[in-house]
Protein backbone atom coordinates (compact mmCIF):
# COMPACT_ATOMS: atom_id res chain seq x y z
CA UNK A 1 0.00 0.00 0.00
CA UNK A 2 1.46 3.40 -0.90
CA UNK A 3 2.53 5.31 2.19
CA UNK A 4 2.57 9.05 2.74
CA UNK A 5 5.86 9.74 0.92
CA UNK A 6 4.67 7.84 -2.15
CA UNK A 7 1.35 9.68 -2.16
CA UNK A 8 3.17 13.01 -1.75
CA UNK A 9 5.51 12.11 -4.62
CA UNK A 10 2.62 11.13 -6.90
CA UNK A 11 0.64 14.27 -6.02
CA UNK A 12 3.67 16.48 -6.79
CA UNK A 13 4.35 14.63 -10.04
CA UNK A 14 0.75 14.90 -11.21
CA UNK A 15 0.60 18.56 -10.15
CA UNK A 16 3.66 19.42 -12.24
CA UNK A 17 2.19 17.72 -15.29
CA UNK A 18 -1.48 18.72 -15.27
CA UNK A 19 -1.75 22.00 -13.35
CA UNK A 20 -3.61 24.54 -15.49
CA UNK A 21 -4.92 21.88 -17.85
CA UNK A 22 -8.62 21.39 -18.61
CA UNK A 23 -10.60 18.16 -18.53
CA UNK A 24 -12.33 17.86 -21.89
CA UNK A 25 -13.65 14.32 -21.82
CA UNK A 26 -14.19 11.69 -19.16
CA UNK A 27 -14.47 7.92 -19.50
CA UNK A 28 -15.20 5.38 -16.77
CA UNK A 29 -15.05 1.62 -17.21
CA UNK A 30 -18.32 -0.25 -16.91
CA UNK A 31 -16.88 -2.60 -14.28
CA UNK A 32 -18.84 -2.51 -11.01
CA UNK A 33 -17.23 0.09 -8.76
CA UNK A 34 -17.07 0.94 -5.10
CA UNK A 35 -16.29 4.61 -5.68
CA UNK A 36 -17.52 7.13 -3.14
CA UNK A 37 -19.24 9.05 -5.92
CA UNK A 38 -20.96 7.25 -8.81
CA UNK A 39 -19.10 7.25 -12.11
CA UNK A 40 -21.90 9.19 -13.80
CA UNK A 41 -21.82 11.97 -11.21
CA UNK A 42 -18.04 12.13 -11.40
CA UNK A 43 -18.16 12.37 -15.21
CA UNK A 44 -20.67 15.18 -15.09
CA UNK A 45 -18.69 17.10 -12.47
CA UNK A 46 -15.24 16.61 -13.99
CA UNK A 47 -15.97 17.40 -17.64
CA UNK A 48 -15.10 20.97 -18.56
CA UNK A 49 -13.40 21.84 -15.29
CA UNK A 50 -9.83 23.13 -15.09
CA UNK A 51 -7.23 21.59 -12.78
CA UNK A 52 -6.14 24.40 -10.48
CA UNK A 53 -3.73 22.30 -8.38
CA UNK A 54 -3.04 18.77 -7.19
CA UNK A 55 -1.85 18.08 -3.68
CA UNK A 56 -1.81 15.53 -0.88
CA UNK A 57 -4.13 15.57 2.10
CA UNK A 58 -3.38 12.69 4.47
CA UNK A 59 -2.99 9.70 2.14
CA UNK A 60 -5.40 11.12 -0.41
CA UNK A 61 -4.56 12.92 -3.65
CA UNK A 62 -6.80 15.94 -4.10
CA UNK A 63 -7.28 17.65 -7.48
CA UNK A 64 -8.58 21.18 -6.90
CA UNK A 65 -10.90 22.03 -9.78
CA UNK A 66 -12.31 25.34 -11.01
CA UNK A 67 -14.13 26.91 -13.95
CA UNK A 68 -10.76 28.22 -15.11
CA UNK A 69 -7.18 27.48 -14.08
CA UNK A 70 -6.67 30.81 -12.31
CA UNK A 71 -9.92 30.81 -10.33
CA UNK A 72 -10.76 29.72 -6.81
CA UNK A 73 -11.48 25.97 -6.78
CA UNK A 74 -15.20 25.15 -6.73
CA UNK A 75 -14.86 21.37 -6.68
CA UNK A 76 -12.46 18.57 -5.75
CA UNK A 77 -11.66 15.16 -7.16
CA UNK A 78 -10.36 13.05 -4.29
CA UNK A 79 -8.37 9.91 -5.01
CA UNK A 80 -7.38 7.25 -2.50
CA UNK A 81 -5.08 4.69 -4.08
CA UNK A 82 -6.06 1.84 -1.77
CA UNK A 83 -3.76 -1.16 -2.05
CA UNK A 84 -2.89 -1.15 -5.74
CA UNK A 85 -4.27 2.07 -7.23
CA UNK A 86 -2.15 4.17 -9.59
CA UNK A 87 -2.69 7.62 -11.01
CA UNK A 88 -0.92 8.01 -14.33
CA UNK A 89 -0.30 10.94 -16.67
CA UNK A 90 0.03 9.58 -20.19
CA UNK A 91 -0.26 10.49 -23.83
CA UNK A 92 -3.60 9.38 -25.36
CA UNK A 93 -1.90 6.77 -27.52
CA UNK A 94 -0.21 5.10 -24.53
CA UNK A 95 -1.54 1.55 -24.26
CA UNK A 96 -4.36 1.25 -21.78
CA UNK A 97 -3.32 -0.91 -18.83
CA UNK A 98 -5.63 -3.68 -17.69
CA UNK A 99 -7.85 -2.52 -14.82
CA UNK A 100 -7.97 1.09 -16.02
CA UNK A 101 -11.13 2.47 -14.40
CA UNK A 102 -11.02 6.14 -15.39
CA UNK A 103 -9.51 8.20 -18.21
CA UNK A 104 -9.64 11.98 -18.19
CA UNK A 105 -8.68 13.53 -21.55
CA UNK A 106 -7.06 16.91 -21.05
CA UNK A 107 -6.95 19.93 -23.36
CA UNK A 108 -3.16 19.58 -23.63
CA UNK A 109 -3.62 16.17 -25.21
CA UNK A 110 -2.49 14.32 -22.12
CA UNK A 111 -4.57 11.84 -20.18
CA UNK A 112 -4.95 11.30 -16.49
CA UNK A 113 -5.70 7.64 -15.80
CA UNK A 114 -6.73 5.74 -12.72
CA UNK A 115 -5.68 2.08 -12.73
CA UNK A 116 -6.47 -0.28 -9.88
CA UNK A 117 -6.28 -4.09 -10.20
CA UNK A 118 -7.63 -4.86 -6.75
CA UNK A 119 -10.20 -2.07 -6.66
CA UNK A 120 -9.71 -0.90 -3.12
CA UNK A 121 -9.06 2.60 -4.40
CA UNK A 122 -11.71 5.25 -3.89
CA UNK A 123 -12.70 8.15 -6.10
CA UNK A 124 -14.88 10.98 -4.89
CA UNK A 125 -16.18 14.17 -6.49
CA UNK A 126 -17.07 17.06 -4.16
CA UNK A 127 -18.70 20.35 -5.02
CA UNK A 128 -17.31 22.95 -2.64
CA UNK A 129 -20.49 25.02 -2.54
CA UNK A 130 -22.31 22.01 -1.07
CA UNK A 131 -19.64 20.73 1.28
CA UNK A 132 -16.42 21.76 2.93
CA UNK A 133 -13.12 20.87 1.34
CA UNK A 134 -11.80 17.37 1.94
CA UNK A 135 -10.07 16.92 5.25
CA UNK A 136 -7.91 14.14 6.59
CA UNK A 137 -9.03 12.51 9.81
CA UNK A 138 -5.87 13.41 11.71
CA UNK A 139 -3.14 16.04 11.74
CA UNK A 140 -0.52 16.11 8.99
CA UNK A 141 2.78 14.69 10.28
CA UNK A 142 4.84 16.83 7.91
CA UNK A 143 3.47 20.17 9.00
CA UNK A 144 2.45 19.68 12.64
CA UNK A 145 4.25 21.88 15.19
CA UNK A 146 5.76 20.73 18.48
CA UNK A 147 2.95 21.95 20.73
CA UNK A 148 0.16 20.31 18.72
CA UNK A 149 2.22 17.14 18.35
CA UNK A 150 2.73 16.82 22.11
CA UNK A 151 -0.98 17.49 22.72
CA UNK A 152 -1.95 14.52 20.53
CA UNK A 153 -0.41 12.05 22.96
CA UNK A 154 -1.22 13.73 26.25
CA UNK A 155 -2.64 11.24 28.77
CA UNK A 156 -2.80 8.37 26.29
CA UNK A 157 -2.11 4.92 27.66
CA UNK A 158 -1.67 3.13 24.33
CA UNK A 159 1.79 2.27 23.01
CA UNK A 160 3.47 5.07 21.09
CA UNK A 161 3.77 2.81 18.05
CA UNK A 162 -0.01 2.22 18.08
CA UNK A 163 -0.60 5.95 18.58
CA UNK A 164 1.54 6.77 15.54
CA UNK A 165 -0.54 4.37 13.43
CA UNK A 166 -3.83 5.79 14.73
CA UNK A 167 -5.12 7.76 11.73
CA UNK A 168 -7.40 9.94 13.84
CA UNK A 169 -4.31 11.37 15.56
CA UNK A 170 -1.88 11.63 12.64
CA UNK A 171 -2.80 10.98 9.03
CA UNK A 172 -0.84 8.73 6.79
CA UNK A 173 1.82 7.12 9.01
CA UNK A 174 2.24 3.48 8.10
CA UNK A 175 4.24 0.68 9.67
CA UNK A 176 7.55 1.48 7.95
CA UNK A 177 7.69 5.12 9.00
CA UNK A 178 6.43 4.44 12.52
CA UNK A 179 9.23 1.91 13.14
CA UNK A 180 11.92 3.99 11.46
CA UNK A 181 11.06 7.24 13.21
CA UNK A 182 10.92 5.56 16.64
CA UNK A 183 14.39 4.19 15.97
CA UNK A 184 15.76 7.59 14.99
CA UNK A 185 14.15 9.14 18.06
CA UNK A 186 15.61 6.38 20.30
CA UNK A 187 12.20 5.47 21.73
CA UNK A 188 10.91 1.94 22.44
CA UNK A 189 7.74 1.30 20.44
CA UNK A 190 5.90 -0.25 23.40
CA UNK A 191 6.15 2.73 25.73
CA UNK A 192 2.88 4.40 26.73
CA UNK A 193 2.38 7.46 24.51
CA UNK A 194 1.30 9.65 27.42
CA UNK A 195 4.44 8.75 29.35
CA UNK A 196 6.91 10.24 26.86
CA UNK A 197 8.61 13.42 27.96
CA UNK A 198 8.22 16.64 26.04
CA UNK A 199 11.84 16.28 24.86
CA UNK A 200 11.24 12.74 23.62
CA UNK A 201 8.08 13.79 21.80
CA UNK A 202 9.93 16.63 20.11
CA UNK A 203 12.69 14.21 19.10
CA UNK A 204 10.01 11.89 17.69
CA UNK A 205 8.30 14.69 15.75
CA UNK A 206 11.58 15.73 14.20
CA UNK A 207 12.57 12.13 13.43
CA UNK A 208 9.19 11.54 11.78
CA UNK A 209 9.54 14.60 9.59
CA UNK A 210 13.17 13.83 8.70
CA UNK A 211 12.37 10.23 7.76
CA UNK A 212 9.32 11.24 5.70
CA UNK A 213 11.13 14.10 3.94
CA UNK A 214 14.04 11.82 3.18
CA UNK A 215 11.72 9.23 1.66
CA UNK A 216 9.99 11.94 -0.39
CA UNK A 217 13.36 13.16 -1.64
CA UNK A 218 14.13 9.61 -2.79
CA UNK A 219 10.74 9.36 -4.42
CA UNK A 220 9.06 7.11 -1.90
CA UNK A 221 10.13 3.76 -0.59
CA UNK A 222 7.17 1.41 -0.84
CA UNK A 223 8.24 -2.18 -0.81
CA UNK A 224 5.20 -3.14 -2.87
CA UNK A 225 4.67 -2.76 -6.60
CA UNK A 226 4.88 0.92 -7.24
CA UNK A 227 4.64 3.26 -10.19
CA UNK A 228 5.05 7.03 -10.29
CA UNK A 229 2.85 9.60 -12.04
CA UNK A 230 4.42 8.79 -15.42
CA UNK A 231 3.86 5.10 -15.02
CA UNK A 232 7.58 4.54 -14.52
CA UNK A 233 8.63 2.01 -11.96
CA UNK A 234 11.88 2.46 -10.15
CA UNK A 235 11.50 4.06 -6.80
CA UNK A 236 14.49 3.71 -4.57
CA UNK A 237 14.28 1.38 -1.66
CA UNK A 238 14.89 3.40 1.46
CA UNK A 239 17.79 2.09 3.52
CA UNK A 240 15.69 1.00 6.46
CA UNK A 241 17.37 0.94 9.86
CA UNK A 242 14.98 -1.45 11.60
CA UNK A 243 11.94 -2.14 9.44
CA UNK A 244 11.98 -5.77 8.24
CA UNK A 245 15.55 -6.21 9.45
CA UNK A 246 14.75 -8.78 12.15
CA UNK A 247 17.93 -10.53 13.29
CA UNK A 248 20.18 -8.26 11.23
CA UNK A 249 22.59 -6.02 13.09
CA UNK A 250 21.65 -2.49 14.15
CA UNK A 251 23.47 -0.05 11.89
CA UNK A 252 24.40 2.03 14.93
CA UNK A 253 25.35 -0.46 17.70
CA UNK A 254 25.52 -3.91 16.00
CA UNK A 255 22.83 -5.43 18.27
CA UNK A 256 20.44 -7.76 16.40
CA UNK A 257 17.15 -6.05 15.54
CA UNK A 258 14.15 -7.50 17.33
CA UNK A 259 10.63 -8.00 16.11
CA UNK A 260 7.55 -8.01 18.32
CA UNK A 261 3.84 -7.74 17.62
CA UNK A 262 2.33 -4.46 18.70
CA UNK A 263 -1.24 -3.45 17.94
CA UNK A 264 -1.29 -6.46 15.64
CA UNK A 265 1.58 -5.16 13.54
CA UNK A 266 5.12 -6.45 13.18
CA UNK A 267 7.26 -3.95 15.06
CA UNK A 268 11.02 -3.71 14.65
CA UNK A 269 13.42 -2.04 17.04
CA UNK A 270 16.88 -2.04 18.61
CA UNK A 271 16.81 -2.94 22.27
CA UNK A 272 19.98 -0.96 22.91
CA UNK A 273 19.39 2.23 20.89
CA UNK A 274 15.75 2.60 21.86
CA UNK A 275 14.77 3.21 25.47
ZN1 LIG B 1 21.22 -0.18 18.07
- Ligand 1 centroid to 169 CA: how many Å? 28
- Ligand 1 centroid to 255 CA: how many Å? 5
Predicted pLDDT at 130: 78
Maximum alpha-carbon separation in the chain: 59
For 102, phi then psi, to 5°, come to: -145, 140
Predicted pLDDT at 169: 97
**156 flagged as catalytic:** no
Cβ contact 68:50 at 8 Å? yes
Q: Which residues pair with 253 in a beta bridge?
A: none
For the entire predicted model, the pTM comes to 0.85
Predicted pLDDT at 118: 85
- Ligand 1 centroid to 235 CA: how many Å? 27
Predicted pLDDT at 229: 55
Q: Which residues pair with 258 in a beta bridge?
A: 269
In the predicted model, what is the mean pLDDT of residues 91-114?
93
Amino acid sequence: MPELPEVETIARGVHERVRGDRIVQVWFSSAPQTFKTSASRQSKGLAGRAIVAVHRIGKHIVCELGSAAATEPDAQWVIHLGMTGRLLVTTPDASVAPHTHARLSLASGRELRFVDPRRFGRLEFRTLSKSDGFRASGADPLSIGSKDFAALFHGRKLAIKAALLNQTLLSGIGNIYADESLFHAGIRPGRAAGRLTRTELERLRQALQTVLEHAISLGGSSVSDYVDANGVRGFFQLEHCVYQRTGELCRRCQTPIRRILLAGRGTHFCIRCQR
